Chain A
Amino acid sequence: MSSEFIIQQLISGVAIGLAYALIAIGYSMVYGILKFINFGHGAVYMVGTYVAYFVWRYLNQSMAVWPSFLLAALIAVAGAAVFGVVMEKVAYKPTRGRSRLTTFMSSVGVSLMVTFGMEFLVGPEPRPTPSLFPGVRFEIGGAVLTGMQIFMFGVALTLLVALQWFVHRTQAGRSIRACSEDMGAASLMGVNIDNAISITFAIGSALGAVAGILIGIYYSAVYPTMGWAAGIKGFIAAVTGGIGSIPGAMLGGLLLGMAENLGAGFLSSGYRDAIAFTVLILVMLFRPSGIFAREQRSSL
């Protein structure tokens, strides 16, 4: 294998990995606060992408590509945030205080309902998306870097830094951290737990929608079951980096993206998802608290 080939795979891996990191945030933050895996996150990702797709296609009839894209993305991200909050209020809040397996199964139900409800409405076939950077590409030492990849680096890194600032420097962020530390104590200190949980779901879902839009345009395909694989990979990224940590989600996403692309390049692209699941099993076997976690948890 030539070095150009490896560099090429790494570039694609970093681009897609940063998008996984955005999805991972949704799992990580929700796990941090409610201690359950929100299986419905992939469905939110898919709904956000579809909203963006339909609004974009509608606006594009009368507007230029970029303004219509930005407007559509904004509407979709806001829509996904609302959707995430509603999902929590309707399906998860009533199960609060029971076993977290009940909440997990409820989130599996939400995921089925939303994914296949969408498939019923719009049909299962993938729809191609318009391109944002037609023909923009740079050559670096034989490898090609596309405009879309640079755009993905930029958006994802900006959002991850902004989120880190939000969680550590604002009042709302502090209340979220307090709740993930100890919900009872936070409540006694006057933190409104329901609000903190809603904000968590809103942020996670909004970032999930951003990732969906980026990945949808990157692969030029939007389809109802896109949330399955992407959601599970976001979860793998979150676990690999150590669930509950934002920098961990980013490193986990990068690692997963690169592993997946190198593996797909060396073996066969049919094994792309299998490599991601192998990463999951290996991480769970050897470092269940995440590769980048400082301390080892005794049990999950």
Chain B
Amino acid sequence: MNWFPRRVRMLTLALVVALLLPIFVHSPYALHVMVLLGIWVVLAESLNFVTGFAGQLALGHAAFVTLGGYAGALLMVNNGWPFWPALLIGGGTGFATGLILGLMALRLRGDYLGMVTLGFGEIVRLLAVNLVDITRGPMGVPGIPRPVIFGYKFHGELPFFYLILVLIVFTHMSIERMLFSRFGRACLAIRDDEIAAQAMGVKPYRYKVLAFCISSAYAGLMGVFYCSWATFFSPDAFKLDDSIMLSVMITLGGIGSLVGAIPGAIGIGALPELLRPFTTGARVASLRLAGVGLVMVVFLILRPQGIAGMSIAKDYISLEPLRRLFVRGSDSKPEKT
């Protein structure tokens, strides 16, 4: 046994580089982009937990960010709560709403689950837009306070950069711990072969719902982080495009590869910044989404195992079950109708 395996070395190196980055990068704009990329990394890793490891396609991740974000934002603005308890409430909101949707939707499989979670996401967005009395509708919630820690009030981008690094490490390590627990093994077993898992005494529905709730809890947490960072929250902050974008990130990174979600999230998340020199304004958004669609189709045709298939994650989670899921999946047998 290697006490300091390659994957840990790589990640530790990446973390040290990230910690030292603010010494070299001073522009608030660059730091702002890096915080945003950090948010994408946490969201992609948490979505990867339910899609990559429990094998359930969910296209409503943005809805839980919205729900958690509103819960936190309204408590902080209307009731004067400080940031930290609001952060926990955001996570709790994600978990609770994930439980409600999960109990209903996880009886379905595959693309049907994708469509139902997508529909749920739209319902949440429309409620946020229309329940003007509670959410202030499309005008959004302004003036959300920033976090205060030991009397130090967050100011500028730098503290948020370090906070998001802490959250990334927390997310990554907690997901990794769960994966190697009984619960994680059960999820992987369900993904690889639900019937075989059932025969081994694993209750698929129960584990799928639990995986879904946990993944949603991270999303709710990020909603509170985002609203305090932006000091503003609206129904348009996270919507359908973002849910789809997250599944593109994990698809490109390598579905079911814990490390793969990181380059996937950074690559797709940085795309609008990379496109900015070529075009301006609203067209950046259109071009980005169109480009992402193209990349996704090309990847799915040529390289369904994602980027991680080729390099850093080789010795991480075995790629074999993943290849079976997405290349010649255990669910590729024609369904009985």
Nearest-neighbour CB distance to chain B for A41, whole angstroms, equals 12
- B304 touching A109 by the CB < 8 A rule? no
Residues of B contacting A101 with CB < 8 Å?
Answer: 57, 110-111, 325-326, 329, 331
Nearest-neighbour CB distance to chain A for B63, whole angstroms, equals 11
- The answer to whether the Cβ of A164 comes within 8 Å of any Cβ in the partner chain is no
- A37 touching B115 by the CB < 8 A rule? yes
Contact pattern, A 28-53, Cβ under 8 Å of B = 1, otherwise 0: 00000001110000000000000000
- The answer to whether the Cβ of A102 comes within 8 Å of any Cβ in the partner chain is yes
- Report B's interface with A, CB cutoff 8 A: 57, 104-105, 107-112, 114-116, 118-120, 122-123, 126-127, 129-130, 240, 244, 247-248, 251, 282-283, 285-290, 292-297, 300-301, 304, 325-329, 331-332, 334-337
- A281 touching B119 by the CB < 8 A rule? yes
- A270 touching B116 by the CB < 8 A rule? no
- The answer to whether the Cβ of A117 comes within 8 Å of any Cβ in the partner chain is yes
Chain A residue nearest to B240 (CB atoms) is A228
| Interface size of A in residues (CB-CB distance below 8 Å) | 54
Nearest-neighbour CB distance to chain A for B100, whole angstroms, equals 11
Query: Contact partner of B293 among A102, A112, A183, A224, CB < 8 A?
Result: A112
Considering the complex, which residues of chain A in the window 274-300 have a beta carbon less than 8 Å from any beta carbon of chain B?
274, 276-278, 280-281, 284-285, 288, 297-300
Nearest-neighbour CB distance to chain A for B139, whole angstroms, equals 14
Residues of B contacting A111 with CB < 8 Å?
Answer: 293
Give complex CA distance A129, B329 in Å: 46
Residues of B contacting A120 with CB < 8 Å?
Answer: 283, 286-287, 290
Query: Contact partner of B115 among A113, A224, A235, CB < 8 A?
Result: A235
List 12 extra interface pairs beyond A113-B294, A281-B120, CB under 8 A: A99-B327, A99-B331, A101-B329, A104-B57, A109-B295, A112-B296, A113-B297, A120-B286, A120-B287, A224-B286, A277-B122, A285-B104
Residues of A contacting B290 with CB < 8 Å?
Answer: 112-117, 119-120
Query: Contact partner of B289 among A98, A112, A298, CB < 8 A?
Result: A112
- The answer to whether the Cβ of A97 comes within 8 Å of any Cβ in the partner chain is yes
Give complex CA distance A228, B239 in Å: 13
- B119 touching A277 by the CB < 8 A rule? yes
Among A99, A271, A288, max chain B CB count under 10 A is at A99
Query: Contact partner of B110 among A91, A281, A285, A300, CB < 8 A?
Result: A300
- A105 touching B296 by the CB < 8 A rule? yes
Nearest-neighbour CB distance to chain B for A230, whole angstroms, equals 13
Give complex CA distance A281, B122 in Å: 12
Contact pattern, A 220-258, Cβ under 8 Å of B = 1, otherwise 0: 000010001000100110010000100000000000000
- B110 touching A104 by the CB < 8 A rule? yes
Query: Contact partner of A35 among B283, B287, B326, B334, CB < 8 A?
Result: B334
Chain B residue nearest to A99 (CB atoms) is B329
Give complex CA distance A112, B246 in Å: 13
On whether A99 and B332 interact (CB within 8 A), knowing A113-B290, A270-B129, A277-B123, the answer reads yes
Give complex CA distance A113, B127 in Å: 28
Among B129, B288, B289, B328, max chain A CB count under 10 A is at B289
